[in-house]
């Protein structure tokens, strides 16, 4: 008698079903192998024939040179759009002479841009100020200037470009405070290893936020490398004081936005307007001017009649933004409150050209 | 801001500048400029106060382009390139940029004079006028450049400098590549120089060293240079208009180009050949111009330069750098490539069909009618105390040789395949595992040499075992002849194996009821074994010829380098697809042996494989052990 017949019935059934499952798996596996072999063979044979028949074309590494500064070019990082990680200095589009090795960090949490309504460089109308306004778009969310708020100062807070959530002041500002604040200056006169580690970490974080800024990274490495009680460390702290302001260029890895204390979230778009935005995108261009205007009101229900001006924020007393509360060190606040820049902007904003003084020429 | 209308002030301003109203905010700006002294030191016109922001841009909806007004401040502050010493108005019209908002951009004339300031504060006038004159006399005169029409549309804005076709903001290359000591000494290397050059003989040493170190290297990395040339030389419309081949494409697929794709900065770039000694990139001439470095009578000198192939024979230059097989019909190169493709299809094709059909049989679970019988016999033999040992198909020595071959082959494939497909993204990654192309290539050379040595060792082993067995090989004690000894080798493939392969194909194609039986080695095993012999000889010989290309040019024309490269690359491809697709399936992935046939590890062949592929061996061993009558083996052999 065969051994299997001696097995109890449930065991036999189990063995039988196991054999069936094994057989199915084995056959499925064979089918997958067939597909893979056929596919690989096809690729191999196609390659062989093409190598003899089709004239050679230059590969993407050579041909994907950006030819114009279309928006899609700038969305990508340098190594991607240039497709040349092997090169030291990838080329800019031909018509653009100056190099740019990076691009502003896209704000993936800004409802105004991610909805598809506005570009990351939204200001385009007034030649006098549009570029200056776009410059602010890298560190200030649209809500600060364009959404109504009765509070003074405005309830503004930082939010992270990595996750859209509220965050503390950016590393660059904290590092600047660390080397320029009155208390910190005293402490840095007799620094400890912890101070050194903190400064290096802040600088590294600031470099990361500023698109990898090699000079900052280098500075961080040097700060970390020297002996904390040495003269070299003090010299480096001085260098950090003078160098950091060069990196306050709106690349903080964070942005300022209106803050809603009730939800404890930054205001990154007009609340409750999803349907209106959808309608605008679908048929906004087909509407007559009256309906269009009405729909736009629904899209922007809390929009300020008049956006904020430079001097609304950039002033020492009565400014709408409390820069100290936002973590701007005193030295940085002083720079932001200097009247020269915003007075110049407001001057040209009024339609009058601004002639640079003769003595600025070499 | 009405204060700017003050009549006196305006008149004063007009008197000073000779134009336009001058509002009061300049006072404010003056304060600003005093406050940003750090920036001003590197940027005397304070343009970077605004232009250092990446966001200082706008989107031009009409042209669907970003108007990027950003200027990388580090370029000026750290003087990353020679133009870092220039003021913005060295290139841009002062009248256009000295007013905010700026006037419409006036195209920059690269030949206009600019001012360079040396450390003593003295200005020197400088211009690129000499370059314009050189270009005018070259293969790239202004008249040709200005008429270029591109398949991708205009690449420059109207009026922009034609220099932009090749140049962008020049950046110094990493000085430590040319002067490695800078890497270890850092800024301290300048300490001694500063003793004199800080004050006594003022020279900006750091700038000077970076400039010179950069000039000691090609202006651009090799691949970037190809990119520059490809702007025109790979553009379909430019090539059609000027009747040009796609020289960049053929370069990139060449030995040098592939090295460039894999990050080799020392390989020949376009300028290495097309710019002769004593000339510069602005003095390139057509290949029919006797002044050209690639003119037929001068091209050998270009190859044999001190930096490239100094020891080569002049006929080395017959090797084609721009070989494009599809447009080289009627040449030996084309014929050889075609022959290898036919060889690939003729050898890989049938093997692939057999493997696929075998898998198909597993899929439909088709078994020949004697399978159960052979399987029972195999089980019985395996349970016999002597049976398992007698079913071992590979001796320990053979297993060691096999695994040495596996390692050598794998390393050769890993280092060689990326060189063949250098333009694929994975190629650079794989080469990176080896620490760069130079290391990968060295490893490839020496492991290839190892493979040749391995073949010689194996031949010795074969000769030793074959001829060592001769005396006892014949029942009558007579020694076999040389031919008979060779044909008696277990891996020797004769007409019977061919016939069995055809019978196997017929069985798999449902044209026969039963498959043929195989002994210790099946026809597939023997075919693969011969393939290894053939491949190692072809790859070894051509590899040696390519490795010593300069040396071999003293005996062979450069054309042989082309032919060797073609044979090497196509044979390697054949080997890789055969092993990578079919052999791997046969010994690792096939359901009969998965996850790995232990035949080459322990010598034990899995039961399913014994039954399907080596039933003759099973019957033979059973017969030897007295488990079946001698007739059974014959029966199985004719099944």
What is the secondary structure of B274-320 as a DSSP string? HS-TT--GGG---TTSTTSTTSTTTHHHHHTSTTS-TT--GGGGGS-
Q: Calculate mean pLDDT across residues B372-387.
A: 88
Query: Is the model's pLDDT at B612 over the cut of 50?
Result: yes
- Cβ-in-10-Å burial (0-12, 13-18, 19+) of B619 comes to buried
Q: What is the pTM of this model?
A: 0.79
Query: Is the model's pLDDT at B4 over the cut of 60?
Result: no
Check CB contact of A334 with chain B, cutoff 8 Å.
Answer: no
Task: Please give the pLDDT value at position B10.
Answer: 38
**A253-291 burial string, b = 16+ CB within 10 Å, else e?**
bbbbbbbeeeeeebbbbbeebeebbeebeeebeeeeeee
* Count of CB pairs separated by less than 8 Å, A with B: 333
Q: Tokens in use for B422?
A: 């250098």
Task: Please give the pLDDT value at position B198.
Answer: 85
Name residue, tokens 């506005």.
A118
Q: Calculate mean pLDDT across residues B250-260.
A: 92
Phi and psi (nearest 5°) for B99?
Answer: -130, 140
Q: Tokens in use for B39?
A: 């920036």
Length of chain B: 639
Beta bridge partners of A256: A140, A158
- Nearest-angstrom CA–CA distance, B288 and B290: 6
**B250-282 burial string, b = 16+ CB within 10 Å, else e?**
bbbbbbbbbbbbbbbbebbbbbbbbbbeebebb
Beta bridge partners of A303: A147
pLDDT tens digits, residue range B435-449? 999 999 999 999 999
- Nearest-angstrom CA–CA distance, B58 and A126: 11
Query: Is the model's pLDDT at B25 over the cut of 90?
Result: no
Query: Is the model's pLDDT at B259 over the cut of 80?
Result: yes
- Which residue in A has a C-alpha nearest to residue B40's C-alpha? A360
Length of chain A: 362
Task: Closest CB to B101: pick one of A30, A335, A348.
Answer: A348
* pLDDT tens by residue, chain A, 362 residues: 444 455 677 788 888 888 889 899 999 999 999 999 999 999 999 999 999 998 888 888 888 777 788 777 776 655 555 445 556 777 788 888 998 877 777 788 999 998 989 988 899 888 888 999 999 999 999 999 999 998 889 999 999 999 999 999 999 999 999 999 988 888 889 999 999 999 999 999 999 988 778 889 999 999 999 999 999 999 999 999 999 998 898 889 999 999 999 999 999 999 889 999 999 999 988 999 999 999 999 999 999 999 998 889 988 888 899 999 999 999 999 988 887 777 777 788 888 888 876 544 44
The residue among B207 and A88 whose pLDDT is bigger is B207
Strand B99-100 relative to strand A265-266, pairing:
unpaired
Which residues of chain B from 166 to 205 reach within 8 Å of chain A, CB to CB? 168-169, 171, 173-174
Average pLDDT of every residue of chain B: 85
For residue A204, give the 3-state DSSP assignment: helix
- Cβ-in-10-Å burial (0-12, 13-18, 19+) of B34 comes to exposed
Check CB contact of B73 with chain A, cutoff 8 Å.
Answer: yes
Query: Is the model's pLDDT at B12 over the cut of 60?
Result: no
Query: Is the model's pLDDT at B321 over the cut of 70?
Result: yes
Q: How far is CA A141 from CA A225, B81, B418, in A?
A: 38, 35, 47
Check CB contact of B353 with chain A, cutoff 8 Å.
Answer: no
Q: B20, B44, B52, B58: which to substitute to probe chain A, counting the most A Cβ within 10 Å?
A: B58
Weakest-pLDDT range from A344-348, B161-165, B216-220: A344-348
- Nearest-angstrom CA–CA distance, A134 and A147: 17
Q: Tokens in use for B526?
A: 């023997």
Check CB contact of A30 with chain B, cutoff 8 Å.
Answer: yes
- Nearest-angstrom CA–CA distance, B522 and B486: 18
pLDDT tens digits, residue range B296-310? 888 888 888 878 888
Q: Tokens in use for B247?
A: 């020289």
The residue among B356 and B367 whose pLDDT is bigger is B356
Task: Please give the pLDDT value at position B17.
Answer: 36
Q: Which residues of A touch B220 (CB under 8 A)?
A: 87, 89
For residue A355, give the 3-state DSSP assignment: strand
Weakest-pLDDT range from B44-58, B132-146, B247-261: B44-58
Q: Cα torsion at A286, A288, A290, A292 (round to 10°)?
A: 10
Q: Are B153 and B238 a contacting pair, CB within 8 Å?
A: no
- Confidence category of residue B27, pLDDT binned at 50, 70, 90: very low
Task: Please give the pLDDT value at position B639.
Answer: 39
pLDDT tens digits, residue range B103-148? 888 899 999 888 887 777 777 888 898 999 999 999 999 999 999 9
Task: Please give the pLDDT value at position B8.
Answer: 37
Does the N-terminal peptide bond of residue A153 adopt cis geometry, omega within 30 degrees of 0?
A: yes
Q: Are A157 and A327 a contacting pair, CB within 8 Å?
A: no
Does the N-terminal peptide bond of residue B595 adopt cis geometry, omega within 30 degrees of 0?
A: yes
Q: In Å, how far is B629's CA from the nearest CA of chain A?
A: 26
Query: Is the model's pLDDT at B470 over the cut of 70?
Result: no
- Cβ-in-10-Å burial (0-12, 13-18, 19+) of B72 comes to buried
**Whether A51 and B108 lie within 8 Å, measured CB to CB:** no
For residue B66, give the 3-state DSSP assignment: strand
CA angle A117, A120, A126 (to 5 degrees): 85
Beta bridge partners of A156: A258
Which residues of chain A from 197 to 216 reach within 8 Å of chain B, CB to CB? 211, 214-215
Share of chain B above pLDDT 70, in %: 90
ipTM: 0.84
Name residue, tokens 């009101």.
A297
Q: Which residues of A touch B221 (CB under 8 A)?
A: 86-89
Residue A240 neighbours by CB distance under 10 Å? 25
Q: Which residues, 6 or more positions from B101, have their beta carbon under 8 angstroms from its beta carbon?
A: A127, A128, A348, A353
Name residue, tokens 């070299």.
A232
Q: Which residues, 6 or more positions from B503, have their beta carbon under 8 angstroms from its beta carbon?
A: B512, B515, B516
CA angle B196, B202, B208 (to 5 degrees): 95
Task: Please give the pLDDT value at position B630.
Answer: 45
- Nearest-angstrom CA–CA distance, B457 and A61: 43
Could you tell me the strand order of the sheet in which A156-160 lies? A166-167, A156-160, A254-260, A265-266
């Amino acid at each position: 008698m065969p051994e299997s017949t001696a097995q109890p019935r449930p065991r036999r059934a189990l063995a039988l079903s196991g054999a069936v499952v094994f057989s199915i798996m084995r056959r499925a596996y064979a089918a997958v192998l067939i597909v893979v072999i056929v596919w690989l063979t096809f690729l191999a044979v196609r390659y062989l024939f093409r190598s003899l028949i089709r004239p050679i074309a230059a590969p993407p590494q050579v041909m994907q040179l950006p030819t114009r500064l279309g928006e899609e070019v700038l969305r990508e990082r340098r190594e991607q759009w240039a497709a040349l990680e092997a090169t030291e200095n990838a080329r800019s589009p031909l018509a653009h002479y100056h190099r740019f090795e990076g691009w502003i960090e896209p704000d993936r949490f800004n409802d105004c841009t991610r909805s598809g309504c506005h570009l990351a460089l939204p200001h385009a109308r007034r030649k006098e100020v549009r570029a200056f306004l776009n410059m602010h778009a890298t560190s200030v969310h649209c809500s600060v200037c364009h959404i109504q708020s009765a509070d003074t100062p405005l309830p503004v807070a930082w939010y992270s470009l990595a996750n859209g959530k509220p965050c503390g002041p950016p590393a660059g500002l904290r590092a600047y405070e660390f080397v320029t604040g009155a208390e910190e200056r005293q402490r840095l006169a007799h620094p400890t290893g912890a101070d050194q580690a903190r400064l290096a970490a802040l600088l590294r974080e600031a470099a990361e936020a500023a698109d990898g800024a090699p000079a900052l990274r280098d500075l961080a490495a040097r700060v970390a490398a020297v002996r904390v009680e040495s003269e070299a460390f003090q010299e480096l702290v001085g260098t950090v004081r003078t160098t950091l302001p060069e990196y306050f260029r709106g690349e903080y890895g964070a942005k300022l936005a209106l803050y809603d204390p009730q939800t404890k979230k930054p205001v990154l778009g007009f609340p409750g307007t999803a349907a209106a935005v959808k309608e605008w995108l679908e048929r906004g261009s087909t509407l007559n001017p009256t309906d269009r205007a009405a729909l736009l009101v629904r899209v922007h229900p809390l929009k300020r009649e008049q956006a904020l001006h430079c001097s609304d924020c950039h002033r020492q007393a009565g400014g709408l933004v409390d820069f100290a509360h936002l973590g701007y060190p005193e030295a940085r606040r002083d720079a932001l409150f200097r009247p020269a820049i915003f007075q110049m902007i407001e001057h040209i904003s009024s339609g009058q050209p601004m002639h640079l003084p003769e003595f600025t020429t070499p | 801001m009405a204060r700017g209308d003050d009549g006196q002030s305006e008149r004063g301003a007009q008197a000073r500048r000779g134009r336009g109203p001058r509002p009061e905010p300049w006072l404010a700006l003056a304060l600003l400029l005093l406050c940003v002294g750090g920036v001003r030191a590197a940027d005397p016109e304070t343009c970077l106060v605004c232009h250092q922001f990446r966001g200082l841009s706008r989107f031009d909806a009409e042209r669907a382009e970003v108007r990027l007004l950003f200027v990388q401040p580090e370029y000026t502050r750290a003087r990353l390139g020679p133009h870092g010493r220039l003021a913005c108005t060295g290139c841009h019209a002062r009248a256009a940029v000295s007013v905010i908002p700026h006037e419409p951009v006036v195209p920059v004339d690269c030949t206009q004079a600019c001012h360079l300031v040396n450390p003593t504060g003295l200005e020197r006038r400088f211009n690129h006028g000499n370059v314009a004159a050189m270009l005018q006399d070259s293969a790239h005169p202004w008249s040709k450049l200005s008429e270029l029409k591109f398949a991708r549309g205009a690449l420059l804005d109207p009026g922009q400098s034609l220099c932009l076709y090749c140049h962008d903001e020049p950046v110094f290359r990493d000085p430590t590549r040319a002067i490695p000591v800078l890497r270890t000494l850092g800024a301290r290397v300048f300490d001694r120089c500063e003793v004199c050059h800080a004050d006594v003989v003022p020279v900006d040493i750091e700038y000077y060293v970076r400039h010179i170190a950069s000039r000691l290297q090609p202006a651009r990395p090799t691949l970037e240079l190809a990119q520059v040339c490809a702007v025109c030389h790979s553009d379909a419309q430019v090539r059609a208009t000027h009747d040009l081949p796609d020289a960049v494409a053929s370069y990139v697929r060449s030995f040098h180009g592939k090295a460039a794709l894999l990050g080799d900065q020392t390989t020949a770039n376009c300028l290495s050949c097309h710019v002769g000694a004593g000339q510069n990139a602005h003095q390139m001439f057509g290949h029919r111009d006797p002044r050209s470095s690639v003119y037929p009578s001068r091209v050998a000198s270009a190859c044999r330069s001190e930096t490239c192939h100094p020891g080569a024979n002049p006929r080395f230059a017959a090797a084609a750098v721009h070989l494009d097989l599809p447009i080289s019909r009627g040449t030996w190169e084309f014929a050889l490539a075609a022959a290898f493709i036919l060889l690939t299809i003729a050898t890989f094709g049938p093997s692939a069909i057999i493997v696929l059909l075998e898998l198909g049989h597993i899929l439909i679970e088709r078994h020949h009618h004697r399978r159960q019988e052979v399987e029972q016999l195999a089980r019985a033999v395996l349970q016999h105390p002597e049976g398992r040992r007698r079913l071992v198909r590979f001796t320990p020595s053979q297993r060691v040789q096999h695994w040495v071959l596996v390692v050598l082959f794998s390393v050769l494939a890993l280092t060689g395949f990326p060189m063949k497909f250098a333009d694929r993204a994975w190629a650079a990654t794989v080469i990176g595992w080896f620490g760069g192309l130079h290391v990968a290539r060295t490893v490839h050379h020496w492991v290839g040499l190892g493979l040749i040595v391995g073949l010689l060792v194996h031949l010795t082993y074969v000769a030793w075992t074959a001829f060592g067995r001769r005396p006892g090989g014949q029942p009558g004690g007579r020694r076999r002849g040389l031919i008979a000894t060779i044909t008696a080798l277990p891996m020797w493939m004769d007409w019977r194996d061919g016939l069995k392969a055809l019978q196997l194909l017929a069985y798999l194609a449902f044209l026969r009821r039963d498959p043929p039986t195989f002994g210790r080695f099946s026809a597939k095993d023997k075919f693969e074994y011969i393939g290894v012999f053939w491949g190692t000889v072809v790859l070894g010989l051509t590899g040696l010829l390519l490795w010593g290309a300069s040396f071999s040019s003293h005996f062979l024309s450069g054309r042989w380098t082309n032919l060797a490269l073609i044979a090497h690359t196509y044979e390697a491809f054949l080997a890789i697809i055969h092993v990578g697709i079919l052999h791997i399936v046969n010994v690792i992935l096939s359901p009969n042996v998965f996850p790995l046939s232990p035949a080459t590890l322990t010598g034990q062949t899995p039961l399913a494989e014994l039954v399907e592929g080596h039933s003759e061996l099973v019957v033979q061993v059973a017969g030897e052990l007295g488990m079946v009558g001698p007739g059974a083996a014959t029966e199985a052999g004719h099944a």
